[in-house]
Amino acid sequence: MILKQFELTGKKALVTGGSYGLGKAFAEALLEAGAEVGIVDISNELPAAVKALKKSGLVTGIKADLLKRPERKRAFQKFLKTFGTIDILVNNAGITRRNRAEEFALEDWDQVIELNLTAVFDFCSMAGKVMLKKGSGKIINIASLLSFFGGLKVPAYTASKGGVAQLTKALSNEWASRGVNVNALAPGYMATPLNTALLKDKARSCQILERIPAGRWGKPEDLKGALVFLASPASDYMHGAVLVVDGGYLGR
């Protein structure tokens, strides 16, 4: 009986940034649980990802640069036109820029904040309007361990992810009583293209590994269960939470 609560059959889900990395695994998890998925992404790898994911269910790609505000609106409208409604939103697309804080360019700051925080708010707002009208919906914002601590050489990323955790709480305060769950998922250190520079920094990546009780970096598949939980009726009483899946890093 409890397993039924994790089913997403027929639910319409929008995943931002699902061409590769964590977002692709999120899309796959939602498809495997029965949802129909629209992936909004800028990458040229989007068609290949959609083709590969088709074996898991009904999936569509919508190409858009989410740094551009009109493109966000256009992509969301296209999703609604294709799927008719939205039940699940996964705000996953994100970037990082690495530099010492005193040399960090304002242009880099603007881009990271625009995609990682402003676009997240924009999509929450667009999806929230539809979900509130029908009295149900699940929003999952992808936070980070840097929602909790400051990190090194990533001031904009840290500020954006701190913002994502706080925004999640702010929205859940307004929307919980109206049937919409807003939660965040905070992955630990995951081996994806986002961390290419960090993985190349042998000293720093060893330091990180030493602090992970699970004894390895995370893989995108490690997050699939938590994502489906947050997208499903099993988490109906969960609001404003930041669910950490990090191999134990934060507890160390």
> Which residues form the interface with ligand NAD (CB under 6 A)?
17-23, 41-43, 65-67, 92-95, 115, 142, 144, 187, 189-190, 192-195
Of 17 and 155, the one with the shorter C-beta distance to ligand NAD is 17
CB atoms within 10 A of CB 119: 23
In Å, what is the CA distance from 63 to each residue of 15, 17, 75, 210, 228? 12, 10, 7, 39, 24
The single residue of 157, 189, 237, 249 carrying the catalytic annotation is 157
User: Cβ 144 to ligand NAD, closest distance in Å?
Assistant: 4
Q: Which residues contact 195 (CB under 8 A, 6 or more apart)?
A: 189
Residue 139's SS3 state is strand
* Dihedral angle sign, alpha carbons of residues 96, 198, 204, 221: positive
Of 151 and 233, the one with the shorter C-beta distance to ligand NAD is 151
Spatial contact of 50 and 24, defined as CB atoms under 8 Å apart: no
CA separation for the pair 203, 44 (Å, rounded): 33
Of 92 and 181, the one with the shorter C-beta distance to ligand NAD is 92
**DSSP H helical ranges for the chain:** 21-32, 46-53, 69-83, 106-113, 119-134, 155-175, 196-200, 202-210, 224-231
User: Cβ 9 to ligand NAD, closest distance in Å?
Assistant: 26
**DSSP class of 157:** H
Active site residue 157: yes
User: Cβ 66 to ligand NAD, closest distance in Å?
Assistant: 4
User: Cβ 207 to ligand NAD, closest distance in Å?
Assistant: 15
Of 175 and 189, the one with the shorter C-beta distance to ligand NAD is 189
User: Cβ 249 to ligand NAD, closest distance in Å?
Assistant: 10
Of 83 and 157, the one with the shorter C-beta distance to ligand NAD is 157
Residues facing residue 15 across a β-bridge: 39, 90
Q: Could you list the active site residues?
A: 157
